[in-house]
């Protein structure tokens, strides 16, 4: 993924449906959040751990309609950032 000059220094690009969107990592209350800019809307993702100890990606606020999108973008974040 290529970097662009009009993004924050720590931002990187996420691909979805053939388009690239900026993703900015940020730490809030010792938790890593990733803010994806879709142009006219933002999606904030974080990685959680279930009661059984299984890791999963979730958006804030939670929206089950976005579950598949969140998982796809979460895997890209893992490949690029984590």
21 in a structural domain? yes
CA 5, CA 31: separation in Å to the nearest integer? 26
Q: How many CB atoms lie within 10 A of CB 16?
A: 14
Instruction: Tell me, yes or no, whether 2 lies in a domain.
Output: no
pLDDT of 4 over the 60 cut: no
Q: Is residue 59 part of a domain?
A: yes
Do residues 56 and 48 touch, judged by C-beta distance below 8 A?
Answer: yes
- Residue 31 domain-assigned? yes
Residue-wise pLDDT tens digits, 11-63: 999 999 999 999 999 999 999 999 999 888 999 999 999 999 999 999 988 88
Q: How many domains does the chain have?
A: 1
Answer yes or no: is 51 within a domain.
yes
pLDDT band at 5 (very low <50, low <70, confident <90, very high): low
Q: Are 37 and 26 in contact (CB under 8 A)?
A: no
| Helix ranges restricted to H, 1-82 | 67-80
Residue 63 lies inside a defined structural domain of this protein? yes
**Could you give the angle at the alpha carbon of 82 between the alpha carbons of 43 and 52, nearest 5°?**
80
- Under the banding of pLDDT at 50, 70 and 90, the label for residue 6 is low
Domain contains 6: no
pLDDT tens track for 51-71: 999 999 999 888 888 999 999
- Answer whether residue 69 is part of any domain: yes
- Provide the residue range defining the domain that includes 25: 12-80
């Amino acid at each position: 993924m290529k970097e662009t000059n009009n993004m924050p220094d720590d931002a990187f690009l996420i691909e979805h449906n053939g388009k690239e969107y900026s993703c900015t990592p940020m730490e809030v209350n010792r938790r890593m959040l990733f803010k994806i800019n879709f142009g006219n809307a933002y999606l904030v993702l974080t990685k959680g751990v279930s009661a059984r100890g299984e890791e999963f990606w979730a958006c804030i606020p939670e929206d089950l309609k976005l579950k598949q999108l969140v998982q796809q973008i979460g895997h890209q974040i893992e490949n690029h950032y984590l």
